[in-house]
Amino acid sequence: MTSPEIDKKKKPRKRPGLATLVLIGIALGIGFGLFFGEMMAPLKILGNAFVGLLQMSVLPYVAVSLIAALGRLDYRQARILVARCSVILLVLWALGAVLFLMAPLAFPDWQFSAFFSRSLVESTEEIDFLALYIPSNPFQSMANNVVPAVVLFSVSVGVALIGLPNKDKVIEPLSVLTDALGAVSSFVVRLAPIGVFAIAASATGTMSIDEFGRLQVFILTYAAIAIIAAFWALPALIAALTPLTYRQILGPSRDALVTAFATGSLLVILPILAERANELARLCGVEDEDAENAVNVIMPASLNFPNVGAIIALSFILFAGWSSGTPVSVVDYPTLAISGVFSLFGSVLVAMPFLLDLMRIPTDAFQLYVLISQVMVVRFGTLIGAMHMLALAVLGTCSMYGLIRLNPLRLARYAAITIGGTIILLIGVRLFFVHVVPHDPKAYERFIAMKPITASVPTKVSDATKNTEGGIARPVSLDEVIKRGVLRVGYWGGELPFVFQDEAGALVGHSVDVARALAKDLGVHLEFVKIDTGRFAEHLDAGDCDLILSLAITPDRARRMHFSQSYMQQTLAFVLPDHRRDDFKSWDDLAGHAGLRIATPDVPYYIDIARRRMPKAKFVTIDNVRDYLGSTKSNFDAMLFSAESGSAWTMVDPSYTVAIPKPGFVAIPVAFAVARDNQSTAEYIESWIELKRGDGFFERLYNYWILGEADTSAEPRWSIIRNVLGWVD
């Protein structure tokens, strides 16, 4: 006989479930990443290997399971499935649209302006719908991971099987293969705690926090909406429409949701989601084979349609409008929602620039979205997408068996809790930013606080424009520069972001860093000489300065000075008030627009280019940018300028933006200029540019001064072991 005490001792301990182990893996990965920093970078290989193992069986599973599941149906069942799932999909899309359009409730009353963005000069790739959906070669589509084409091929074969008399001879082997592929995926998923640990550790250890400074509002807002969607709105909708309870829905799906968040891929968890959807269907009382077929059809087919996660990612459009000072009007919400859903049939990254342009929002923030999307948006979006697919499969299956319950009271209660809870949470996020988080300084304040990132050399500043006696009346050779011990570099005032004064009055900027590096390599001191913008060649010929940096090449200048090879390019653009941006997006529209007054610096070559494209416009030369900004807004429609410099000036006054008309871009090469007879200096400069281009020097300066990215080359990523404990250098 055994006593209760002995029975109690023999009772085995409850082992943690897979979802718990995955969460532990994520927590440990974040902890290790924070502690060891960049030492965790090699674990990225292990994380990639885990994701690769998950992916290896997924597309075959999609193809095989879809063919087998559709083939088992009859035509009546197929029609019912398509009709009812379409209605459910529209309901889910509407839910996603309501949630993302509520995002502005979380935005505090802050103002932003932005650095130049490469997205201004990058052409948006058009979606090739033929290649995306038409499987001209199904095996090539599978090899290239073109999911929509694979699904269309599988659907075509599956539908063809429906009417064949001997289809069981094909379907049964495919069913066995489906089970085998599902077993492979289930085995690999058991490795998830190790895989997600590696992913979290490498990402946390190498991710630059500075990159996401101004996205903190979007990050927290998007995370809040994502959590509401994944853990309440979608599962509670299932509970409101079916016999299932909220606990019954969320319990079995936890491991799939956590794995989806960790891997950032819906494709790799498709077999797990299908299994969980079948479990929930059985809990509803549907246990026949047809229900399993419905799930196996709905799951892979849903990959071709926008999910709620992708729709909620469109809240970035509202954030970009808010942060750029051009918020999307409530009147435009229906347009944004409808256009957003249909543009997402391609991809979010393709849809985003299109929607920014559609809503007349400057695209400066798009590159920031690209940065954050791979770290945060993709993972939360996959989390929501997993629950979206589960909801679609469960509700679609239940609708086929008449298990959908339209109880007005339950639906009203669900709507009230969902909308009310979301409003309360988002207002709470807003209050958090207003009262707890200090507002970052404006972009211009951060800009003028930027410091040189090249090695310091003894530097002084002089002014050739005030030198009535003139220089030595000739350019000096490179040997004379070295003998003199001072390199004299010409500059002119207010040349953002190339040469300008910081808060302390010192000269800083892209050209300053180039000049410091050049002087350092020559082993000489540095002197910046202020020169007149209309007398570049005269100053070089008179020996007032040895060279001029960041000078745009034109035919007239090339005739009078010697230019080095170009070390960067700028883009011809317009600086104009934000609300006029749409007026300058097309050269064709500008060509027919009479009465435009365009301010422009005194560069005849670029005026001629613009005049050929805008024959009816009037161009007025101004002395400096400040003559255009501020009090003279009403005198001009826009200013002809470079996009890179213009973006820096828009930080002086955030009510302005930069527009580059399409199609086509006019590139402006920028180079060193020396006197025509100064051959020794010119030859050295050519070789020096080649060396510096080879070691990434110019790219590093471009990213820092033009794009506004943090310079991280000087020191490793912050970590506890290095920066807190001091155990490593």
319 pLDDT higher than 50: yes
Tell me what the mean pLDDT of segment 118-145 comes to. 71
Q: Rank 328-337, 365-374, 411-420 by mean pLDDT and report only the highest.
A: 411-420
pLDDT score, position 368: 56
pLDDT score, position 410: 92
User: Which of these three, 669, 688, 707, is where a domain ends?
Assistant: 669
Q: Rank 91-95, 266-270, 306-310 by mean pLDDT and report only the highest.
A: 91-95
430 falls within a domain: yes
pLDDT score, position 210: 47
6 falls within a domain: no
Range of weakest confidence among 328-332, 443-447, 532-536, 679-683? 443-447
Q: Tens digit of pLDDT for each residue in 201-215?
A: 887 777 655 445 556
Q: Rank 78-87, 140-149, 261-270, 501-510 by mean pLDDT and report only the highest.
A: 501-510
DSSP readout, 698-714? HHHHIIIIIS-----SS
pLDDT score, position 468: 47
Range of weakest confidence among 41-50, 85-94, 224-233, 707-716? 707-716
User: Judging by DSSP bridges, how do beta strands 507-508 and 500-501 pair with one another?
Assistant: antiparallel
Distance of CA 269 to the CA centre of its chain: 24
438 is written with which tokens? Answer: 């200090």
Tell me what the mean pLDDT of segment 125-134 comes to. 66
Range of weakest confidence among 50-59, 418-427, 557-566? 50-59
Q: Tens digit of pLDDT for each residue in 455-474?
A: 999 999 998 877 644 445 78
Instruction: Give me the number of domains the chain comprises.
Output: 3
Q: Which burial class, exposed, middle or buried, applies to 570 when counting CB atoms under 10 A from its CB (0-12, 13-18, 19+)?
A: buried
pLDDT score, position 594: 86
Tell me what the mean pLDDT of segment 16-42 comes to. 84
- For residue 139, what are the domain limits? 18-435
Tell me what the mean pLDDT of segment 530-550 comes to. 92
Q: Would you place residue 656 in the very low, low, confident or very high pLDDT band (cuts 50, 70, 90)?
A: confident
User: Judging by DSSP bridges, how do beta strands 486-491 and 547-552 pair with one another?
Assistant: parallel
Tell me what the mean pLDDT of segment 283-291 comes to. 74
Tell me what the mean pLDDT of segment 661-689 comes to. 91
Share of the chain above pLDDT 90, in %: 33
209 is written with which tokens? Answer: 């926090």
**Residue 495, beta-bridge partner list:** 499
Residue-averaged pLDDT of the chain: 83
Range of weakest confidence among 112-121, 223-232, 413-422, 452-461? 112-121
Tell me which H or E stretch contains 477: none
State the CATH number of the domain containing residue 56: 1.10.3860.10
User: Which of these three, 388, 405, 435, is where a domain ends?
Assistant: 435
DSSP readout, 654-700? TTEEEE--BS---EEEEEEEE-TT-HHHHHHHHHHHHHHHHTTHHHH
Whether residue 480 is found in the same domain as residue 607: no
Helix, strand, coil shares of the chain as percentages rounded to 5?
60, 10, 30
Torsion sign over Cα 76, 78, 81, 83? negative
Q: Alpha-carbon distance 367 to 649, whole Å?
A: 19
H helices present in 436-499, as ranges: 443-448, 478-484
In the 8-state DSSP scheme, what is residue 602?
S
Whether residue 422 is found in the same domain as residue 457: no
Q: Would you place residue 302 in the very low, low, confident or very high pLDDT band (cuts 50, 70, 90)?
A: confident
Three-state secondary structure call for residue 12: coil
661 is written with which tokens? Answer: 């008309």
Which residues, 6+ apart, have CB-to-CB distance to 166 below 8 Å?
A: none
Whether residue 664 is found in the same domain as residue 558: no
Tell me what the mean pLDDT of segment 628-637 comes to. 70
Range of weakest confidence among 338-342, 615-619, 696-700? 338-342
Tell me what the mean pLDDT of segment 319-341 comes to. 81
- Please say whether the beta carbons of 29 and 204 come within 8 A: yes
Alpha carbons within 13 A on the beta-carbon side of 680: 9
Whether residue 299 is found in the same domain as residue 396: yes
714 pLDDT higher than 60: no
434 pLDDT higher than 60: yes
Whether residue 559 is found in the same domain as residue 576: no
Whether residue 161 is found in the same domain as residue 273: yes
Tell me what the mean pLDDT of segment 482-505 comes to. 90
- Please say whether the beta carbons of 61 and 182 come within 8 A: yes
pLDDT score, position 70: 78
User: Shortest CA distance to 33 belongs to which of 187, 170, 208, 162?
Assistant: 208
User: Of residues 548 and 121, which shows the higher confidence score?
Assistant: 548
Whether residue 537 is found in the same domain as residue 590: no
User: Which of these three, 379, 408, 435, is where a domain ends?
Assistant: 435
441 falls within a domain: no
Share of the chain above pLDDT 70, in %: 86
Q: Which burial class, exposed, middle or buried, applies to 272 when counting CB atoms under 10 A from its CB (0-12, 13-18, 19+)?
A: buried
295 is written with which tokens? Answer: 């799930």
3 falls within a domain: no
729 falls within a domain: no
pTM summary value: 0.63
Torsion sign over Cα 166, 167, 173, 175? negative
Q: Tens digit of pLDDT for each residue in 547-604?
A: 999 999 999 999 999 999 999 999 999 998 877 877 888 898 899 888 899 999 888 8
Whether residue 548 is found in the same domain as residue 581: no
- Please say whether the beta carbons of 522 and 483 come within 8 A: no
Whether residue 65 is found in the same domain as residue 186: yes
pLDDT score, position 21: 82
CB atoms within 10 A of CB 192: 25
User: Of residues 137 and 518, which shows the higher confidence score?
Assistant: 518
5 pLDDT higher than 70: no
pLDDT score, position 211: 47
193 is written with which tokens? Answer: 């705690």
Tell me what the mean pLDDT of segment 215-221 comes to. 84
- Please say whether the beta carbons of 638 and 576 come within 8 A: yes
52 falls within a domain: yes
User: Judging by DSSP bridges, how do beta strands 459-463 and 525-530 pair with one another?
Assistant: parallel
Q: Alpha-carbon distance 393 to 291, whole Å?
A: 10
- Please say whether the beta carbons of 461 and 500 come within 8 A: no
User: Of residues 612 and 662, which shows the higher confidence score?
Assistant: 612
258 is written with which tokens? Answer: 């956590």
What are the two backbone dihedrals, phi and then psi, of residue 550, each rounded to the nearest 5 degrees? 55, 40
pLDDT score, position 212: 53
Range of weakest confidence among 279-288, 314-323, 667-676? 279-288
State the CATH number of the domain containing residue 456: 3.40.190.10
Q: Alpha-carbon distance 519 to 441, whole Å?
A: 33
587 is written with which tokens? Answer: 């050269």
In the 8-state DSSP scheme, what is residue 497?
T
pLDDT score, position 78: 77
Whether residue 453 is found in the same domain as residue 364: no
Q: Alpha-carbon distance 367 to 538, whole Å?
A: 41
pLDDT score, position 366: 63
606 falls within a domain: yes
638 pLDDT higher than 50: yes
9 falls within a domain: no
Whether residue 456 is found in the same domain as residue 385: no
Whether residue 351 is found in the same domain as residue 323: yes
